[in-house]
Structure 1
Amino acid sequence: MSAFSPAQRAAAEFLGTALLVAAVVGSGIMADRLTADGAIALLGNALATGAILVCLITLFGPISGAHFNPAVTFVFLGRGSISARMAGAYLGAQVVGGVAGTLLAHAMFELPLVQLSTTIRTGGAQWLAEAVATFGLLAVILGGIRFNPVAIPWLVGLYITAAYWWTASTSFANPAVALARSLTDTFSGIRPADVPGFVLAELAGATAAATLFGWLLAPDRSGLRQALSAPAADTSTA
């Protein structure tokens, strides 16, 4: 049983997702203002996102598990690691927190609070990239839990920093973040009409990762079964 109440855990998910999205949107705005070079702007956006993830997962992980992502919560629900009721609370907190993070970023940079993105992000290549990005993210999380839990903040932060660059979609890998980013017509935005395709791709990638790594990371018990079924050695003396 968690040492923290359901309200505390949901609040951690709200705060973590809000600060994550504020960092994503805010760093995109800052990068866009400081340079006309798209590559440098993306680098700044990626580094800020990866760095904030290390901090947020370290801070909120002991409270809620630091999901900040409906795809992650969906996988943990399927694994039986979280109840359906708590998963619903997490989902609501993540979505509301993501929207709050976008509004916060707009307020900090003196932009209109309510916006809709006009940045087109759609098509088979983009959806494939989102499925692959989310697959990799869940693989990193599940593998980290299995082999080195204390490294998860760094593993996730480094993975997302890298995935900004090697995926065509710049690795949203998060339905709540995709929705929140549809509400900003800035560097990191996504057109609202394109969000459903991203969300479906992200959930498909998460499901594939949960299925494959559920098998891949399971201990091989065949040797143990053989040992238990083998006849006992005769240790009697004449």
Structure 2
Amino acid sequence: MAVIHPRIHWGAREVDWTWVPETTDEITGVARRMAAEAMGVLGFVFFAGAAIIVNSKVSEGGLGLLGMAAATGVAYALMVYMFHPVSGGHLNPAVTLGELAARRMPPSIAALYIAAQAGGAVLGALLLEVVFRDFVGDASGAAALTFADKMTGWTGALFEGILTFVLVVAYIRAFVVGRGGNIALGALTLGLIVGAAFLVAFPLTGAALNLSRVFGTALVANEWTDFGWYALGTLGGAVAGFVYEYVFQSPDESHEVHDSPGREAPAEA
């Protein structure tokens, strides 16, 4: 069994501060989760970025806003559905921060998740460069997200934060509180939220809702415009986890056991 050092009290719940694996199987299990997060974000960054590039550089607007929104939402839903059984399908630093704020995962594991998501995003941006090199000289730059000229930083961050809040609350409701539910339905719900957010926010903020996606294209293209504002908007995920924990959650839900990665569930009496 993995060793947890130490357990701290956070509100009414004990939280694992860090998690130390003791066996090769436990290390392998965490590595599988990290790989799943990286692969899921890679796939999402590639498909979402490809939709933007195809619309702007290949088909000359052929996809349109609706087509790009559909491609982005479907890609997110599919990646969550594919990788949820392995890692929980966070695929988003905001979701991971929401889980952390809701005291449902150790900070050490959350840090590993976010690092894996960032790595996957960079690989996704590099893959865009390879696939679309004959169509555009800077594919990751073409797929990079920025705020509209009339959108101020604070307003854009607030807009991104609100949309991210909705996404994270939906994730917590579908997959954390409602564990054992329908994974396909939960993934579809998240995909619909991402698609709807794209329709209303892409012309204004790019509809990121995912800092890892912004980070991947920004790093490869060396284009950091508005990155700080996107990072601020990501805090909406942490707020969502905190608010759900203390406002939306019912008393019965607050007593559910949610085990940390690698921790064995307590035996039933």
Mapped partners of 1:63, 1:162: distance in 2: 27
Asked if the contact 2:73/2:191 (under 8 Å) is kept, the reply is yes
Which structure is higher in strand share? 2
Q: 102, 117, 138: which is aligned to 1:79?
A: 102
Q: 70, 76, 96: which is aligned to 1:53?
A: 76
Mapped partners of 1:85, 1:15: distance in 2: 20
Structure 1 match to 2:168: 138
Q: 13, 31, 39: which is aligned to 2:37?
A: 13
Q: Secondary structure at the match of 1:46?
A: helix
Structure 2 match to 1:207: 238
Deviation readout 1:140-198 (Å, 9 max, x if unpaired): 1122233555321001101000000123324211111111232576xxxx941310111
Structure 1 match to 2:113: 90
Which structure is higher in helix share? 1
CA shift in 2, pair 1:80/1:13, >3 Å: same
Asked if the contact 1:103/1:113 (under 8 Å) is kept, the reply is no
- Measure how far apart 1:85 and its partner are: 2.3
Structure 2 match to 1:31: 55
- Measure how far apart 1:28 and its partner are: 1.0
- In structure 1, stretches of 5+ residues that fail to align are 222-238
CA shift in 2, pair 1:154/1:119, >3 Å: closer
Asked if the contact 1:73/1:91 (under 8 Å) is kept, the reply is yes
Within the alignment, does 1:198 sit opposite 2:234 as a pair?
Answer: no
Asked if the contact 1:116/1:183 (under 8 Å) is kept, the reply is no
Structure 2 match to 1:224: none
- Measure how far apart 1:78 and its partner are: 2.6
- In structure 2, stretches of 5+ residues that fail to align are 2-24, 253-269
Deviation readout 1:2-29 (Å, 9 max, x if unpaired): 9970111100011111111001111111
Structure 2 match to 1:231: none
What is the identity percentage for the equivalent residue pairs of Structure 1 and Structure 2?
Answer: 26
Pick which of 92-101 and 112-121 moved more. Answer: 112-121
Deviation readout 1:65-103 (Å, 9 max, x if unpaired): 111111111121233332222222211111111011011
Mapped partners of 1:220, 1:16: distance in 2: 33
Asked if the contact 1:178/1:195 (under 8 Å) is kept, the reply is yes
Mapped partners of 2:155, 2:101: distance in 1: 28
Deviation readout 1:29-88 (Å, 9 max, x if unpaired): 1122344448x4332221111111221111110100111111111121233332222222
Mapped partners of 2:123, 2:33: distance in 1: 17
CA shift in 2, pair 1:113/1:96, >3 Å: farther
The structure that has the greater radius of gyration is 1
Pick which of 45-54 and 209-218 moved more. Answer: 209-218
Structural RMSD (CA): 2.8
Q: Secondary structure at the match of 2:225?
A: helix
Question: What code does the residue aligned with 1:176 have?
Answer: S
CA shift in 2, pair 1:114/1:29, >3 Å: closer
